[in-house]
Structure 1
């Protein structure tokens, strides 16, 4: 049975750019919220769930990047 390809397993350049733009924007905004960037000194100790979300998002984007470069080399 042939496995179905998706944009995650077989991303195009346009999709990769969109994912990276979305990830970068989200990363900056979440870190600003976690550290209360505009109010007081940075402190990550109270926001464990947001940190977990960032870690999993980073893993997902790394997987998409890996798939894109594998496709590019083939």
Structure 2
């Protein structure tokens, strides 16, 4: 799985950081999400999928082909 963030769509709500803190973090100045891990291990896939599903801005893109 590979992850991409559409930063211009991110509203900085942060549920992704709460659900998968090993993968997502937020910039201190504006709260925009950034990736700590672009291709997380299988043990984190469930949390990453949940984070993408609850994102209020729908800015997390997942590629399950890798």
Asked if these proteins are the same fold (TM beyond 0.5), I'd say no
In the superposition, the TM-score normalised over structure 2's length comes to: 0.33
Normalised TM-score (structure 1): 0.31
- The higher radius of gyration belongs to 1
Which structure has more helix as a fraction of its residues?
Answer: 1
Greater strand share, structure number? 2
